[in-house]
């Protein structure tokens, strides 16, 4: 297993104001529900990788949140959203390294790294 393939050791409850995930590498991630929804990686939201498009934020309710979060095999999570969407499969590396919104990752991204 690659050292970058981290796994969640703790997944926060969907009733909390934000989603929290504690990773096997000790990192504590936090995600706003709506921004997590806007990052949905499925083909309907993001397009195929050859034809990238962006999900229109206006189409996502302000108060969207996950009803539940299902594990997909040993590599991803699939949230079932209150807006009825549930085809987005968020891989662990994507969640951990690309869309984490903790202070550390937000600062690193703002610095261009
Ligand atoms: Zn989607
Ligand atoms: Zn982070």
Q: What is the per-residue pLDDT for 50?
A: 66
Assigned domain for 1 exists: no
User: Cα–Cα distance between 18 and 41 in angstroms, integer?
Assistant: 19
Q: pTM to 2 decimals? A: 0.89
Assigned domain for 2 exists: no
Assigned domain for 66 exists: yes
Assigned domain for 51 exists: yes
Assigned domain for 99 exists: yes
Ion ligand 1 neighbours, Cβ < 5 Å: 40, 42, 45, 88
CATH number of the domain encompassing residue 104: 3.30.2020.30
Per-residue pLDDT of the chain (113 residues; tens, 9 = 90+): 455 689 999 999 999 999 999 999 999 999 999 999 999 999 889 876 666 667 888 889 999 999 999 999 999 999 999 999 999 999 999 999 999 999 999 999 999 86
Give Cα separations from 21 to 30, 45, 95, 96 (angstroms). 6, 23, 9, 9
Q: What is the per-residue pLDDT for 74?
A: 93
Give the tokens for residue 39.
């990052």
62 alpha carbon – ligand 1 mean position (Å)? 16
Assigned domain for 100 exists: yes
**What residue numbers bound the domain in which 51 lies?**
8-110
User: Number of folded domains in the chain?
Assistant: 1
Q: What is the per-residue pLDDT for 53?
A: 67
Assigned domain for 3 exists: no
Would you say 28 and 102 are in contact if contact means Cβ atoms under 8 Å apart?
A: yes
Assigned domain for 75 exists: yes
32 alpha carbon – ligand 2 mean position (Å)? 12
């Amino acid at each position: 297993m690659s050292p970058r393939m981290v796994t969640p050791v703790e997944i926060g409850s969907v009733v909390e104001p934000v989603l929290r995930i504690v990773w096997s590498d000790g990192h504590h991630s936090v995600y706003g529900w709506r921004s997590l929804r806007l990052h949905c990686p499925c083909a309907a939201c993001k397009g195929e990788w050859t034809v990238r498009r962006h999900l229109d934020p206006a189409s996502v309710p302000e108060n969207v949140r996950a009803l539940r979060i299902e594990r997909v095999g040993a590599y991803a999570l699939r949230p079932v959203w209150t807006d009825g969407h549930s085809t987005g499969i968020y891989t662990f590396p994507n969640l951990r390294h690309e869309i984490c919104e903790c202070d550390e990752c937000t600062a690193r991204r703002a610095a261009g790294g």
